[in-house]
Structure 1
Amino acid sequence: MHDVCKAFYRAEKQDQSLMNYFMTFKRTYEELNVLLPFSPDVKVQQRQREQMAIMSFLAGLSSDFDSAKSQVLSGSDVSSLQDVFSRVLRTETTPSVSLNSALVGHNNHAPWRNSTPSGSKGGNSQRPDNRTPESGSIMCNYCKKPGHTKFECKKLQFKNQQKHYANVANTSDAPDRSVTISADEFAKFSRYQESLQSSSPSVTAIADSGKSNACLLSTSSKWVIDSGATDHMTGNSSLFSTFQSYSPTSSVTLADGSPSSVLGSGTVTPTPLLTLSSVLHLPNLSFNLLSVSQLTRNLNCCISFFPDHCLFQDLMTKKIIGKGHESGGLYVLDPLSSTPIACPSVASAFEAHCRLGHPSLPLLKKLCPQYSKVSSLDCESCQFAKHHRVSLSPRVNKRASVPFELVHSDVWGPSPILSKPGFRYFVTFVDDYSRVTWLYLMKNRSELFPIFCAFCAKIQNQFNVHVRTLRSDNAKEYTSAQFQSYMISNGMLHETSCVDTAPQNGVAERKNRHLLETARALLFQMKVPKPFWADAVSTACFLINRMPSSVLNGEIPFKILFPVKSLFPVAHRVFGSVCFARDVRPHVTKLDPKSLKCVFLGYSRLQKGYRCYCPDLNKYLVSIDVTFVENTPYFSSSPTPTRHGDDDDLLVYSVTTAAPDTCSDESLVPSPTSVIAPAMPTPPPKPPIIVYSRRPPPVSCPAPASSSSDSELNDDLPIALRKEKLS
């Protein structure tokens, strides 16, 4: 044991390879575990700690104390570190005394070291150290008998032979190293070596006084339920079904205070009913630990501990989802053998799938745990009945690397309401690099090709670059022969989405949604009529280009392409508000009004001015000389007109004043002759109440007397009048 402890605490790599050094150290560590097996008994742990202290003390002694160490290690009654120190101290002077005795015995002329007793008659008499002054013979320090030394003592040699010791040769690279253990320890070590050769290293049992102590190694599949662990931990990488490595690696602090590196985390399924997520992988951990706090939090369960077992119970269904048993002071998780809920005698998983109404594979595994290892089900009926769209993966590169490397485009329309200038469609071109949007209004879809040609010419002239790739949907205006011929001749790539797969053109689709949401807000705020939707969309595009974008990490799209230009060439105003534009018509005299009352509808693309609409002239004006009343909308909400005609029996409404609270239901509309008593206080005015009533049916004239002259007109009378006439 001394040599094993010395090799363990003084391990050195020296000139060995890393693999040989690790295997040597691991072999020493396993031998130390055999000599000092783990025990839950506190007294045994204290005795083992005392032995470790003794071995560390002896390993630190120099070679001058080899005889002392041999005597201490050969004895069996060593109980404490203090006892070992006393023995070493007692034997420290014994080698020098024996050596001097031997020298004196062979050299009678050596001077006597001690002075002559006072009773002697003079002269330097000589005697060895092991000789007593009285007898003058050699004295044994062990048996206290004369005639021999301690190393020649037969009694000591006989006593040592009675001890059953076995010298186990060390299998390391040094052939002269040996481990001295007792016969019982050697028997345990032999059984341990046999178990390593005959069984897998998952769980190794070593018999100790009729008890079985399980040594759970890192490759074990058993899980220890630990209330002191903050996370699930394992050192066995083969248990993970999914795994995500950490870069850089983190660390956790173990129970002994030492840090251990964490290579990653993943999902582990120790039992069919327990699926553990975020399980940490610690390669140096020798146990698989189940965190009680993580179990109760993630699985919404409670854990009840009993003297010999523990139970996991779901808090919602009250179902037992896990069990554990007590072993050596630890609670170890039991692998549950789940009983099938449905189809216990069905031979195949596909047959059970058909019998249960084609459920999904996870549901089938819960109903029939015997099919938990089935990875997939090839059911053609499910493909026809449950086929759905595939989730699109996110874009790897969020943005293009240079401007106009990729341009997104989409056509919106037709609009259900014709705009004032007569537009029904609009097309957008979005630069993927800067996210600047160009919007063009169209009356027909056929106008897309000339607009796209003008857009490409503008980009080439203004930015001195060419549009490299256009991404759009499969609309006919994009796939026409004329459009494709233009793109091929200019070396542009055309990427189209699959049929009925709008998310593949998601940038343009989301841009259209953003434009329409902003346009609706502009229209609703100032009650602008719907025929002005084209002006609202154009203004929304102008403002969105000058707003920070989350895709650009807060940058403004307009500033990316035009870093020098000002965001707003004119001050921005409230859309749909009242404004007064200067009247510059030539026939306006000095006595006429100098301005026109207009509604503000946006900004001019090519002129530095405001775009206004004058309803009196039914014309659009662009002027810089405009005065705004921004808190006043030009258009006010008009009441819903009352319908008249043949369908007068429909519900109509009228606005009336509110009656006092003391009035009955019959007086909701007060009569002009009603008088309120002066003693009654005047109630405060209340908002008008909308009273719905049916219009009275028209009063029909009495039917004329029957005559032969109007017999032809009787067919035109209502059926009820004709019946009355006949009766």
Structure 2
Amino acid sequence: MTGQRDLLTEYKEEKGPSVTFGGNGKGFTRGFGVLSNGTTTFRRVAYVDGLKHNLLSISQLCDKDYEVRFTKKACSVLNEKGKLALSGHRRENVYVIDMDSTITENLCFLSKASSDVNWLWHKRLSHLNFKTLNSLSSKELVSGLPQHSYAKESLCSACEKGKQTKASFKTKQVSSVTSPLQLLHMDLFGPVNIQSIAGKKYTLVIVDEYSRYTWVIFLRCKSDTPEELISFVKKMEVLNNLTVRSIRSDHGTEFKNSSLNNFFKNKGISHNFSSVRTPQQNGVAERRNRTIIEAARSMLSDSHLPTQFWAEAVNTVCFTQNRSLIIKRFGKTAYELFVGRKPSISFLHIFGCQCFILNNRDQLGKFDPKADDGIFLGYSSISKAYKVFNKRRQTVEETIHRN
């Protein structure tokens, strides 16, 4: 039984027996759900309102054909095949089992990745943290990633410069939506002090509540927000055959205006606002802003590219994080939750790396170079192609012909 509702999946409200606490207080069973760490799953775990500790019943474990062993300092739970399912340690007169640590211990069965492979995939996935990288590998949530144990052997100077922080917002514990596009969180950041190559200074970040799938839209000025947002909502509804029901944002004039009010009224979309000067209430979008900006800053620092490439870095971060960040409630990536299939990441490359682009525009002589020098800038959002900066032409091109 547990007193933390957010630990349970497949939760169903159901009245159960009351539980008497040590101080003669009582808690009531509100429902039952499933508790899992990826390798061991307990079904029909009771949610008891007011319970301050998570409790495992030894008798019920034995009834399920588990074998429980105790020593002076530790305990272990073996499954019906005799393999270790859970382990714990003694704390005074109580044996404590950490289900999260059991997941980490399973990684010892994987071969350790070399230092070069460690940092290669860390950079390919937009400086992704190693805990998530190991989860992607061990649980086979993506294809194309070598199955190794990845370890942070030293500090990444680019991450230290890009992600240094004092504190973070608390994550949202409970979600009330059951499918994508029911609720969209959004926020605008900018103006960036240096325009992007395309002349943009603002970025509209949109996050789906259910899947946490994220989109970024680059704007020249704040007044472009209503037009871009209306176009985005129409496009998403047609492409996914789903309906946007609610939108959450702050009180910025880019979101609170007559154009959007009329559009939402005609579509039957409810528009919720966070309280004034309380960005925590728009925490989903605010935290995603921070995650994207920190990763983009790290990538620019690592690639030594000028700041004018910030929009390309942000777009690449959004692309890779949709395919790599794991949504804790479901144990899946945002891409899989939104699209319905596991993402492939075998084609990813390091942002800012040197490359060569096939020159198929000019009429070349017999011995003229066939390729131009380029800088890899990410992935196209409208076609199956890479975005590359052509050094000779000084333009950003989309091409599949690169080495």
User: After alignment, is 535-544 or 475-484 more displaced?
Assistant: 475-484
Find the residue that maps to 1:476 and give its secondary structure: coil
Counterpart for residue 624 of structure 1: 400
| Alpha carbons 2:212, 2:327 under 8 Å: kept | no
One-letter amino acid of the counterpart of residue 27, structure 2: S
2:266 to 465, 489, 492: 489
Find the residue that maps to 1:486 and give its secondary structure: helix
> Once the two structures are superposed, what CA deviation does each residue of 1:563-620 show, in whole Å capped at 9, x if it has no partner?
247534x711111010001011233322211000010000111121211002321111
One-letter amino acid of the counterpart of residue 575, structure 1: F
Counterpart for residue 332 of structure 1: none
| Alpha carbons 2:374, 2:389 under 8 Å: kept | yes
State yes or no: 1:397 paired with 2:174: yes
Q: Aligned pair in 2 of structure 1 residues 233, 429: CA closer, same or farther (>3 Å)?
A: closer
Counterpart for residue 156 of structure 2: none
The one of the two structures with greater contact order (alpha-carbon pairs below 8 A, sep at least 6) is 2
State yes or no: 1:613 paired with 2:375: no
> Once the two structures are superposed, what CA deviation does each residue of 1:213-246 show, in whole Å capped at 9, x if it has no partner?
xxxxxxxxxxxxxxxxxxx976xx5xxxxx5638
Counterpart for residue 571 of structure 1: 347
Q: Which has the larger radius of gyration?
A: 1
> Once the two structures are superposed, what CA deviation does each residue of 1:330-384 show, in whole Å capped at 9, x if it has no partner?
xxxxxxxxxxxxxxxxxxxxxxxxxxxxxxxxxxxxxxxxxxxxxxxxxxxxxxx
Counterpart for residue 479 of structure 1: 256
Counterpart for residue 282 of structure 2: 505
Counterpart for residue 245 of structure 1: 27
One-letter amino acid of the counterpart of residue 499, structure 1: V
Counterpart for residue 589 of structure 1: 365
One-letter amino acid of the counterpart of residue 582, structure 1: L
Counterpart for residue 443 of structure 1: 220
Find the residue that maps to 1:429 and give its secondary structure: strand
Moved over 4 A (4+): 263-267, 392-396
One-letter amino acid of the counterpart of residue 483, structure 1: L
Counterpart for residue 432 of structure 1: 209
| Alpha carbons 1:409, 1:427 under 8 Å: kept | yes
Find the residue that maps to 1:597 and give its secondary structure: strand
Take 1:460 and 1:496, find their aligned partners in 2: how far apart are those partners? 22
Take 1:613 and 1:577, find their aligned partners in 2: how far apart are those partners? 11
| 1:537 Cα deviation from its structure 2 partner | 0.2
Counterpart for residue 377 of structure 2: 601
Find the residue that maps to 1:466 and give its secondary structure: coil
Q: Aligned pair in 2 of structure 1 residues 606, 552: CA closer, same or farther (>3 Å)?
A: farther
1:180-199 aligned at under 5 Å gives the runs none
Find the residue that maps to 1:479 and give its secondary structure: coil
One-letter amino acid of the counterpart of residue 265, structure 2: I
| 1:477 Cα deviation from its structure 2 partner | 1.2
Find the residue that maps to 1:586 and give its secondary structure: coil
Take 1:490 and 1:579, find their aligned partners in 2: how far apart are those partners? 46
One-letter amino acid of the counterpart of residue 472, structure 1: S
Q: Provide TM-score, normalisation by structure 2.
A: 0.58
Unaligned runs of 5+ in 2: 1-20, 31-47, 53-91, 93-168
State yes or no: 1:530 paired with 2:307: yes
Take 1:489 and 1:426, find their aligned partners in 2: how far apart are those partners? 26
Q: Aligned pair in 2 of structure 1 residues 461, 527: CA closer, same or farther (>3 Å)?
A: same
Take 1:563 and 1:425, find their aligned partners in 2: how far apart are those partners? 31
Counterpart for residue 291 of structure 2: 514
Take 2:22 and 2:256, find their aligned partners in 1: how far apart are those partners? 58
1:467 to 241, 244, 259: 244
Take 1:565 and 1:554, find their aligned partners in 2: how far apart are those partners? 12
One-letter amino acid of the counterpart of residue 435, structure 1: R
Take 1:573 and 1:266, find their aligned partners in 2: how far apart are those partners? 48
Take 2:400 and 2:170, find their aligned partners in 1: how far apart are those partners? 49
Q: Aligned pair in 2 of structure 1 residues 594, 472: CA closer, same or farther (>3 Å)?
A: same
Take 1:462 and 1:266, find their aligned partners in 2: how far apart are those partners? 45
Q: Aligned pair in 2 of structure 1 residues 396, 528: CA closer, same or farther (>3 Å)?
A: closer
Take 1:415 and 1:456, find their aligned partners in 2: how far apart are those partners? 25
1:537-576 aligned at under 5 Å gives the runs 537-564=314-341, 566-568=343-345, 571-576=347-352
| Alpha carbons 1:244, 1:264 under 8 Å: kept | no
Q: Aligned pair in 2 of structure 1 residues 264, 465: CA closer, same or farther (>3 Å)?
A: closer
Take 1:495 and 1:608, find their aligned partners in 2: how far apart are those partners? 36
Q: Aligned pair in 2 of structure 1 residues 564, 233: CA closer, same or farther (>3 Å)?
A: closer
| Alpha carbons 1:406, 1:469 under 8 Å: kept | yes
Take 2:319 and 2:387, find their aligned partners in 1: how far apart are those partners? 13
RMSD: 2.8
Q: Aligned pair in 2 of structure 1 residues 542, 395: CA closer, same or farther (>3 Å)?
A: closer
| 1:543 Cα deviation from its structure 2 partner | 0.4
Q: Aligned pair in 2 of structure 1 residues 616, 523: CA closer, same or farther (>3 Å)?
A: same
Take 1:486 and 1:264, find their aligned partners in 2: how far apart are those partners? 42
| 1:395 Cα deviation from its structure 2 partner | 5.2
Unaligned runs of 5+ in 1: 1-231, 238-242, 249-262, 268-296, 298-391, 628-727
Q: Provide TM-score, normalisation by structure 1.
A: 0.33
| 1:450 Cα deviation from its structure 2 partner | 1.3
Q: How many residues align?
A: 251
Take 1:264 and 1:507, find their aligned partners in 2: how far apart are those partners? 27
Take 2:397 and 2:301, find their aligned partners in 1: how far apart are those partners? 23
| Alpha carbons 2:251, 2:276 under 8 Å: kept | yes
One-letter amino acid of the counterpart of residue 407, structure 1: L
| 1:463 Cα deviation from its structure 2 partner | 1.2
One-letter amino acid of the counterpart of residue 542, structure 1: F
